[in-house]
Amino acid sequence: MTRQRRISGLVLNWTAVEMANLHVDPITMKARFVVDATGHAAEVVHIVERKSGIRLNTKTGKIMGEQSMWAQVAEDTIVRNSKEVVPGMYVCGMSANAVFGGPRMGPIFGGMLLSGRKVARDLLKRLS
């Protein structure tokens, strides 16, 4: 969901509604902030890019895609890339490197935990 060029919530569970043959309007959830932690696919950011017309906070204004695997560099890059990608929406974990063009991780996961912690702390500051 967008309001005034800012992410303001999500449309949820639409596949479940279709599978159950429910005849309801889309289920929505209003939110002050949304976090895409969907991994390599960066699913939520892809939808935002495709449907909102809002330019992403990347060098290209679009999803940059992951670089080849380089775990040592990715450990630091993933934390730096964990930030607000459009007003009202943050990325963390592999979504961050997929959106901002960082390398894939490989078998090391400490950076992913630090990525989530960074976004959580940033959001706590903004919500205070």
Structure tokens at 21: 């043959």
Full-model pTM: 0.90
Gyration radius (Cα) of the chain, Å: 15
The three state secondary structure string of the chain is: CEECCEECEEEECHHHHHHCCCCCCCEEEECCCEEECCHHHCHHHHHHHHHHCCCCCCCCCCCCCCECCCHHHHHHHHHHCCCEEECCEEECCHHHHHHHCCECCCCCCHHHHHHHHHHHHHHHHHHC
Pairing type for strands 6-7 and 2-3 reads antiparallel
Pairing type for strands 89-91 and 84-86 reads antiparallel
Contact between residue 115 and residue 74 where contact means Cβ atoms under 8 Å apart: no
The residue type of 117 is R
Per-residue pLDDT of the chain (128 residues; tens, 9 = 90+): 999 999 999 988 777 777 888 777 778 899 999 999 999 999 999 999 999 999 999 999 999 999 999 988 999 999 999 999 999 999 999 999 999 999 998 767 789 899 999 999 999 999 99
Domain ranges of the chain: 33-127
Give the Å distances, CA to CA, from 114 to 3, 50, 111: 30, 29, 5
Pairing type for strands 34-36 and 89-91 reads parallel
Q: Which CATH superfamily is domain 33-127 in?
A: FAD/NAD(P)-binding domain (3.50.50.60)
